[in-house]
Structure 1
Amino acid sequence: MIVLVGLVAPGRVQAQSVPEGAYGVTYRPDNVNYRVRKSDHFSIIYQEGALDMARRTARALERTKPGTDSLVGTVDEQMQMPVVINDFNDRSNGFVQAYPFRQEIEAPSLRSDALVARASSWPALVAPHEQVHAAHAEVDGTVGVGSLLRLFAPDMARGINLLAPRGLVEGVAVYRESRLEPGAGRLNAPLFTMKMKAAMLSDDPWSLTQMLEAPAYTQPFNRFYIGGAHAFEYLAERGDSTSTEFFRTTVRWHNRLPLIGHGVWVGAGTEQWPASLGSEIQSTLRARYRAEMERRAPFTSTTLVAGEKGRNYRRPYWLDDETLVAYVHGYDVRRGFYRIDASTGNRERVRVQTITEDYAYSLSRDTSALYAGRYVQDPLVPRRAGMEVERVSLNDGRSTRLTNGGRAGAPAQGPTGRVYAVANDGPFTRLTAVTDSGKTRPLTSDNARSIRQVAPSPRDSTVAVLVNEDGRQYLARTTAPIEQPATLTPWLALQDAVIYDVSWGPEGRYLLFAADWGGTANVFAYDTENDRVHKMTNVRYGALEPALSPDRSTLAFVKYRHERHDLVRRPFRPDAAPVVPDSVVRRGPVQDDAPSATRKETEASSTVELGAARPYAAWRHLAPRMVYPTLHGEGDDKPLPYLESPDPSGPLGVGVGLGMQGVDPLQRWAYQGTAFWQDGRLWGEVEVESGAVLLRPSLAAYNRPFSALIREGGDRRAVAVEERGGGIGLRLPISLESNVYQSRLQVELDAEVRQTRLYGGAVTEPTSYTTRATLEPRVTYAHRLQQSPRDLVPNTGVVLGLQGEADVWTDGPDASRGLVASADTYLPVLRDTHTGIRLGARALVQNQGSVFSVGTFVPRGHSSVDRLPSGPFLQFEAEVTQPLWYIDDGSTLLPLYAEVLALYGFGETLGSVEGWGWQRARSSVGGGVSLRIRLFSRFRLDLRVGAAYRPEATDVTTVYR
């Protein structure tokens, strides 16, 4: 059972780190309080101040639940699912987690147009999307492994259901979100579908496995969303009718027999072998997309300024007629702002810098600086990142923070020098002004709309504002200086189209923007003098973020191709470009092109009732979530200083018992305990951990046996050992730097009092207890680490570690003390080829030979050395890692995915420095092959095989690390 808990622990949909064991705790800000309201099927746990978001979320969940149940399958006994709403984090997200089972949604909306541009609101789409995951987790196959586990560990059964290829998990949810509101959802979003089209029409179209599995080293990194959604849509809608029965069959069978893998059950659900199915999907979609391209041809010719596979140029601006600035990121380039020569494409770094996902930054009016927003990690709260505005000088690359707690991005400088920005306001955003004190002052009223971008004209006081309202994204205008309450007058829209971005030409005559009129994002120019809109491009997949040169002769923009966003240019000739018909252009108030999605929400609201609010109390939710049988062997405790080693065949025999675990939905408190009968008596251990306070304290108490070997008079004898005691632990992670370079500090302290005695086996009478009080401090400091998407290890930075263990008091036995210090530095000398170079040094000091495990301290090839004497010892090592092949493909039938094949080389030496000599030396030098794989879509393994030459023995041995 304990093995199964570990097997299914990664039970969260969305990227995350999973705590050791089934349940962990989460620290949330001290000043954040939660309240609880219930609807018919959901328990809404929302942060105080986020009631509107809670109501919208509950409404969306209740309104869409019948359709979701029909899609995924109903469950006989559904729990009232907890749904947590946070409003302290600007980095938007939504996820479903099995341990503990809940939905959790950040109130601020994603800044990605592909999901929210046509939706009535962020909760109207994200809540039903996450509810699909929740319904998926609840599927019960009636008989089999999942049903058996559900009897005593429901969360474990849910975790098994979510242990599926991520493309299947997300594909069904994206399919569902795309059927809720007219035109909404990612399958209806051209910025989403263009990546599928480009991939399938490339020289290396995606296989079914690649559609369903998350890529490790290959763009786009949301491939499993894109491929999974399109594959699911194809399977659901092939033939004469729409049916998702294949998905229900697949999930039920996986729930019954999870260890076979999903591929077999996908074949069973579709009645077709995965290989054949993949070929059918690939050939059908390629033919469909080719026909579309032939219909839309001819395409606009462009000149490539800069671009290559795996590199992305975003949001260019002209500095002069020969130079642009753009945000660049990719496989082999550090994220940041770069100057780019418009003729040669050569780039020069301005500043390494992260940015919000909408890339909405702007150029100052005098072209001397950039204004950008980025997420700044809270030093003490891992779950909180605040959006802040910064000014980046183009002269020296220095960054100046303009806000502190502003929760704002997409900044732009107005004609008077005032900086305007877009600030989060629950699931919507408001136009704000940045004040001298570093705060933001709202300029627009609190209503159900979102400001996406603000663009002041270079010619006069006109300010263009990109607005999203009621599932429509259009341009409005106002006049600078903008004062509260600002009036945003609808100005320009295209029929049945989303406008994605906006920028002005150098003299303020032309307003340039990208829009998806016709189903593909292209560049348009609005001539403010003659009131005409010109379509400037017709590209295959997508054209975005146009910029007009100062002499108005050249149009630069971003053009999407498979695995890349290229920076291209072409002559700017609006008179030669087609004029968008007046029947398509919407001037003034926005007209209804489709049924209002918001009206659907409002009409349904009368049928959704939220109960009375009460404060959230963790104790109400701490009933055991798992109760399971346990088996116990001879014990695997590390040997105590006076014991030689554990004995796997000792005198204890088999123990049987019962374990339980629990946690509340906010993960403020978690506990686990076990009671078992072994060797004729009752034993047990219990641990409680809290995330309610900053230091995340844990308390533990135990009374447990294990067997070991002792040496007495030259003989080794098996004995039973009783160990009892208790301890407290403290843990404090601190984020020191959260830009492209990452610096972090982790401080931990464990204090323990334990008593041990020998009581059985070769011991006829129990010995007296010996008592020890022990402190175990651990400190890890990572300084300016940076790792690009295709690096296998960081390409720069230093990691320092310190771990100690000391008996601060004993009642007789010698006190045990030890210390391990480590230093690793990563060198960027071959960063362009993703060659990882690590130099390391470690020191070990201990007053007895068994304080620390030395498995990774001893050089490779010397695995027979299982302990070291008191020392002190020094170890030096160098390791080089070179990727050969980014495979990023695998098998659909078998739960196996290959990520990368690499070579590695190493040199290591270890010696005692006692008495200032180099003694007891152990060294090795060698290399090998590394294959990183993923099993069951979640569990990563680095399979290594190599050879190590040992100078002292003058031989070569096989190594596996």
Structure 2
Amino acid sequence: MGTSGHGYPGLGALAGRPGWRWLLAALLAMALTAGAAPAGAAGSRWLTLSTPRVRIHFRPGYEVAAIEAARAAEATLDAMADRLGHAPRDPVHVTLMDVTDLSNGFTDVSYYNRIVIYPAFPVGLGYSTGLSPRMRDWLELVVTHEVVHAVHLDMAEGPARGMRQIFGHVPRFATPNLFQPMAFIEGLATFEETQLVEGGRGEDPLYDMFLRAAVLESALPDIDRALGLYDLGHFQPGAHVYLYGYTWFALVADRYGEQGIRDLQKRFAAVSGLTMPGEVVRRVLGQELESLWREMRQELERHYQDEIATIRAAGETEPTLVEAAARSGAWVAVSPRLSPDGRLLAYAASGPYVEDVRLVDLDTGRDRQLALGLVTAPGGLDWSRDGRYVIYAAADEVEGRVYSDLYQVEVATGRVQRLTHGRRAYAPATGPGGLVAYAARDGLTTRVVVRDPTGAERVLWEPPQGWQLLSLAWSPQGDRLALAVWKPGGGSDLLVLWLSSSPSPRDPAAGPGVAVSRVQPVTDDPFVDDRPSWSPDGRHLLFHSDRDGVYNLYAIDPASGETWRLTNVVTGAFDPVMAPDGQSVFFSWFWAHGYRIARLDASALRWEAVQRPRAPAPDAAWTPEPKDAAAPAVDSLPASWRIGPYTPFESLRPTYWEPLIGERWPGPFLGAATGGLDAVGERAYALAGAVGLATGAPLLYAGYARLLGDGRGPVLTLETSVTPKVHASSPTGAQPGDPYDEVAAVAADLRWQRGGFGGGWQASVGAVRSWIREASSGEPWAQSGRETRLVAGWLGYRQGGEHRWASVRQWSLQGETVLEAADPVDPLAASALVAGWGYVRQRIDGTSFEVRLAAGVGGRQLLPPGGGESGPFAVRAYDSGIFSADAVAVGLSAERAWRLADFRFGLGDAPTFFDDLGLALFTEAAAGWDRADPSRPPGAHLALEPSPGSPALGAGAEVRLRLSLDYGRVGLVVRLGLAQGFAPEPETRWYLRLEAR
């Protein structure tokens, strides 16, 4: 990159311009020294563990996790070289980015094989994803899954291999497996994850539950619905492309062996995206894809119908749905908790529109939103002992990180108060005297923290290294705290912390006066025992477990170890809580299309004795030992492994080039482009150069972006370009051979952004310097026309919602100010400020009502689009030139929409899916005012006059077809509309628009 800039015609002259030399110097210097780390590793913001085939990038303090990730990645590369017959030529880059409590990972093969892992242990995500504490190790599982992606998507055979040899790692065209259906991509990774890692999703009881429920409710999807990431209009447990993709590959392995999967992937890696997957399957396996899919469904039905019959033969538990909660429209309703008087039920809800804490009045049957928030993961909630508050955990952005924190909402008023900031807190449990215990993350470790009403906190208990806290429950008597913990090796167990008072009158800063006097193990087995809650008398712990292969509710007496199964459901039962009067139990009940809050009378509980999980715990204090105490040692790495400061050069170097061919004015052009992104995602660049074949006109571009502030601060963007432009003397357009201008520009932009669940803001400041000259004049750039602009802009937004009808109220405020240094102008003309407010009421059945109001001042952003286009000042019945407000504009629109057909179908294995057909009626109005005297002196009285063509008023109707392309990667809306304009003059217009969604 350092030599590319000097090769661009004209940029040398730009570099010599006084006042702008620093900008080009900064562009080149930042490209050459991007992120240079200090000489010593101790001072580095990022470190890199290098192995023969992997680069693990991590923050200081994550050395052990980096070694574990490297071991998992190297082992997976070894396994996949045999299983798929392919090994990436270049190193695989893996970045451990502990910036969110929403555990995940992704693989990007756009420039090279880059993986990003969010390593926080998953808590609460299993309800939707199938990730459960059964897994042997989360980091091992997610690294394995993503490295399988990297190997699979790196495969290139036949023409694709030739393409890569010529053009390098050009996105898409040199990675043909990216054209596969999403179910094949994610299904293969999930299948291999299950083969390579103990506790992979394919063998988890959650996946069994998802499939069993689908068979029970005849919800197994046809192939056209399952191949892509499609909006199917209802809850999709496990994400259907993972769940059914895994199931399909399990069938292929059973029928054709693992060689069949290998041959299939080799063939896919040699074809283009124009080849249908069914054709590849037919050629390789000798059977039609749809036929194999039907056979898979039939085998699932036979297997799970037998399971269902066996469960029912033992006497099926039949709970009662809490109808008020069922009517809320929540797809996932979990964590039910009862108020101390037993009259109110709070729960966490997730639906297609918003997430919230909801409240059911069990006497009246009324269900309402209590607080808006991302509460289902990692989540957890509890009532204060006086019944005034619900304390809950919700994820939101904190300094650029998505962390979970504690909040409390006053039930009577709905007033929300934030209790913690950036503590990565979850699983709150309330105790006596206003105490609140919760789990807190510190990097990749967790610990129990207790908080008193004054906000004072102290660490109550730290589990052994590697253990992860899942959930907490404080006993009614206040003397015990029950915990569910995951242990390395897989499975989760219950513990009880016995508490004692520890007043510290001489040290108020010591925090809440409670301490752990004894740790009592309650269960110790390979099963999942989670979400404990106490019976009202404090004798029993209720919890859910998969110990019989199906998630059911259990009870245990911690004192004796006696254990009972309480339910025998066909699908799954979770999160039990007993009513204060002991007459009923509430829990979350799974069905194919979601989790529902259910109730079971105490008389219907089975109390069926089962084998004790372990012998009763001794009275003496117990010190737990981790199952796998052998943590990797940083000072005993293999000889070929080393840890050093991170440098971005290896991942930033160009890995591809792609030709640029076009027909834009001033004639056909030919060139090339490349780009790059570093492994930690803090630096990116793009380079492009072309020349007009008829004119020799250069088209040049260089851009560089840098995320500042240790990954939390603003983004700095630097750009330079040289482009041809239609000559000013040819306003109607020019033909090749006509005179044209050349425009050279240098720009810098600094952009800050913050966002959270309820709203956020963005601000920017930038500068642009441009030069323009007639190309044939030979005029030096130094003597050409030039312009300097300083630009400042900002955008803020806030929204709220109500879950049952998905009502959303939102407002936004955005502005831009342009100060032209060469010639001071009216600030009103050089600025724009737009404020907007909107309200949308979207029913589950597809009916919606929407109203939006916008107002703006200034001239640069107030051009109302038309001709079917939408926008804050749009009137779709007219062209955009109907008026152009350069001072003030207002816009108002209202719309009512209906779903005409909810067909949701695809075209077999084609990458096209139709998921909705709707009708919308709308009315729009816009008005604008111009400055009566644009040449008035600064400070003079501002006079306005209506813009020509203002006001504009129209109404119309649209038929809208929603569809997905490329197996769900691209969402589109086709809008066919008829609009009638009423003012400034009658006009009728038909239009057809295609827009992304």
How high is the TM-score relative to the length of structure 2? 0.81
Match of 2:656 among 603, 626, 629: 626
Give the aligned partner of residue 907 of structure 1: 923
Matches of 1:621 and 1:52, distance apart in 2 = 23
Matches of 2:827 and 2:333, distance apart in 1 = 61
Displacement of 1:429 in angstroms is: 2.3
Partner SS for 1:279: helix
Displacement of 1:337 in angstroms is: 2.8
Give the aligned partner of residue 610 of structure 2: 580
Match of 1:468 among 483, 486, 492: 486
| Cα deviation digits, residues 419-468 of structure 1 (max 9, x gap) | 22212244442223337556552622551211212222223623322121
> Size of the alignment, in residue pairs?
899
Give the aligned partner of residue 835 of structure 1: 848
| Cα deviation digits, residues 639-685 of structure 1 (max 9, x gap) | xxxxxxxxx4xxx3322223232232123222222233332365522
Give the aligned partner of residue 92 of structure 1: 103
1:754 equivalenced with 2:754 (yes/no): no
Give the aligned partner of residue 86 of structure 2: 74
Given that 1:947 and 1:956 are in contact with CA atoms closer than 8 Å, whether structure 2 keeps it comes out as yes
Give the aligned partner of residue 59 of structure 2: 47
Query: Compared with structure 1, are the counterparts of its residues 299 and 600 closer, same or farther at alpha carbon in structure 2 (3 Å cutoff)?
Result: farther
Match of 1:808 among 814, 817, 821: 821
Given that 2:726 and 2:733 are in contact with CA atoms closer than 8 Å, whether structure 1 keeps it comes out as no
1:661 equivalenced with 2:691 (yes/no): no
Query: Compared with structure 1, are the counterparts of its residues 853 and 837 closer, same or farther at alpha carbon in structure 2 (3 Å cutoff)?
Result: closer
Match of 1:179 among 171, 175, 195: 195
Displacement of 1:575 in angstroms is: 8.3
Give the aligned partner of residue 64 of structure 1: 76
Match of 2:158 among 142, 153, 165: 142
Give the aligned partner of residue 780 of structure 1: 795
Give the aligned partner of residue 935 of structure 1: 965
Match of 1:228 among 244, 248, 262: 244
Q: After superposition, where does 1:485-496 map in structure 2 within 5 Å?
A: 488-493=519-524, 496=526
Give the aligned partner of residue 511 of structure 2: none
Partner SS for 1:365: coil
Matches of 1:103 and 1:790, distance apart in 2 = 39
Q: Which moved more, 1:196-205 or 1:242-251?
A: 242-251
Query: Compared with structure 1, are the counterparts of its residues 951 and 370 closer, same or farther at alpha carbon in structure 2 (3 Å cutoff)?
Result: closer
Match of 1:301 among 318, 321, 331: 318
Matches of 2:866 and 2:769, distance apart in 1 = 21
Give the aligned partner of residue 346 of structure 2: 326
1:361 equivalenced with 2:388 (yes/no): no
Q: Percent identity?
A: 21
Instruction: Give 2:152's aligned amino acid.
Output: H
Matches of 1:843 and 1:139, distance apart in 2 = 52
Give the aligned partner of residue 18 of structure 1: none
Query: Compared with structure 1, are the counterparts of its residues 262 and 500 closer, same or farther at alpha carbon in structure 2 (3 Å cutoff)?
Result: farther
Matches of 2:349 and 2:263, distance apart in 1 = 40
Matches of 1:283 and 1:70, distance apart in 2 = 31
Give the aligned partner of residue 21 of structure 2: none
Give the aligned partner of residue 194 of structure 1: 209
Give the aligned partner of residue 704 of structure 1: 723
Give the aligned partner of residue 210 of structure 1: 225
Displacement of 1:505 in angstroms is: 0.7
Matches of 2:823 and 2:278, distance apart in 1 = 57
Partner SS for 1:492: coil
| Cα deviation digits, residues 291-326 of structure 1 (max 9, x gap) | 210121131122222325654331222225752423
1:412 equivalenced with 2:433 (yes/no): no
Given that 2:223 and 2:909 are in contact with CA atoms closer than 8 Å, whether structure 1 keeps it comes out as no
Given that 2:101 and 2:378 are in contact with CA atoms closer than 8 Å, whether structure 1 keeps it comes out as no
Matches of 1:440 and 1:192, distance apart in 2 = 39
Match of 2:49 among 23, 31, 37: 37
Match of 2:292 among 261, 277, 290: 277
Partner SS for 2:258: coil
How high is the TM-score relative to the length of structure 1? 0.84
Matches of 1:870 and 1:317, distance apart in 2 = 56
Displacement of 1:372 in angstroms is: 2.2
Match of 2:686 among 660, 669, 672: 672
Q: After superposition, where does 1:916-931 map in structure 2 within 5 Å?
A: 916-917=945-946, 919-921=948-950, 922-931=952-961
Matches of 1:848 and 1:338, distance apart in 2 = 41
Q: After superposition, where does 1:516-527 map in structure 2 within 5 Å?
A: 516-527=546-557
Displacement of 1:219 in angstroms is: 0.8
Matches of 1:305 and 1:882, distance apart in 2 = 29
Query: Compared with structure 1, are the counterparts of its residues 724 and 956 closer, same or farther at alpha carbon in structure 2 (3 Å cutoff)?
Result: same
Partner SS for 2:192: helix
1:532 equivalenced with 2:562 (yes/no): yes
Matches of 2:726 and 2:236, distance apart in 1 = 53
Given that 2:828 and 2:858 are in contact with CA atoms closer than 8 Å, whether structure 1 keeps it comes out as no
Match of 1:131 among 147, 163, 166: 147
Query: Compared with structure 1, are the counterparts of its residues 199 and 804 closer, same or farther at alpha carbon in structure 2 (3 Å cutoff)?
Result: farther
Give the aligned partner of residue 949 of structure 1: 980
Matches of 1:244 and 1:487, distance apart in 2 = 55
Give the CA RMSD over aligned residues. Answer: 4.1
| Cα deviation digits, residues 183-231 of structure 1 (max 9, x gap) | x121222233312222233244312233332243421264325533443
Displacement of 1:347 in angstroms is: 1.8
Displacement of 1:606 in angstroms is: 8.5
Matches of 1:839 and 1:861, distance apart in 2 = 18
| Cα deviation digits, residues 865-891 of structure 1 (max 9, x gap) | 498486765544333444444554423
Query: Compared with structure 1, are the counterparts of its residues 825 and 599 closer, same or farther at alpha carbon in structure 2 (3 Å cutoff)?
Result: same
Give the aligned partner of residue 450 of structure 1: 468
Give the aligned partner of residue 879 of structure 1: 895
Instruction: Give 2:396's aligned amino acid.
Output: V
Q: Which moved more, 1:568-577 or 1:725-734?
A: 568-577
Partner SS for 1:697: strand
Query: Compared with structure 1, are the counterparts of its residues 260 and 824 closer, same or farther at alpha carbon in structure 2 (3 Å cutoff)?
Result: farther
Displacement of 1:574 in angstroms is: 8.2
Matches of 1:509 and 1:150, distance apart in 2 = 72
Given that 2:688 and 2:700 are in contact with CA atoms closer than 8 Å, whether structure 1 keeps it comes out as yes
1:350 equivalenced with 2:364 (yes/no): no
Give the aligned partner of residue 895 of structure 1: 911
User: Structure 2: where are the runs of 5+ without partners?
Assistant: 1-30, 502-513, 619-625, 931-943
Provide runs of 4+ in structure 1 moved above 6 Å: 482-486, 599-607, 712-717, 763-768, 787-791, 813-816, 847-855
Instruction: Give 2:494's aligned amino acid.
Output: L
Matches of 1:620 and 1:817, distance apart in 2 = 47
User: Structure 1: where are the runs of 5+ without partners?
Assistant: 1-22, 590-595, 635-647
Matches of 1:504 and 1:409, distance apart in 2 = 19
Matches of 2:905 and 2:734, distance apart in 1 = 55
Matches of 1:715 and 1:124, distance apart in 2 = 61
Displacement of 1:51 in angstroms is: 0.8
Matches of 2:864 and 2:900, distance apart in 1 = 40
Partner SS for 1:284: helix
Query: Compared with structure 1, are the counterparts of its residues 858 and 517 closer, same or farther at alpha carbon in structure 2 (3 Å cutoff)?
Result: closer
Given that 2:796 and 2:812 are in contact with CA atoms closer than 8 Å, whether structure 1 keeps it comes out as yes
Matches of 1:788 and 1:266, distance apart in 2 = 43
Partner SS for 1:119: coil
Q: Which moved more, 1:349-358 or 1:189-198?
A: 349-358
Given that 2:977 and 2:990 are in contact with CA atoms closer than 8 Å, whether structure 1 keeps it comes out as yes
1:734 equivalenced with 2:765 (yes/no): no
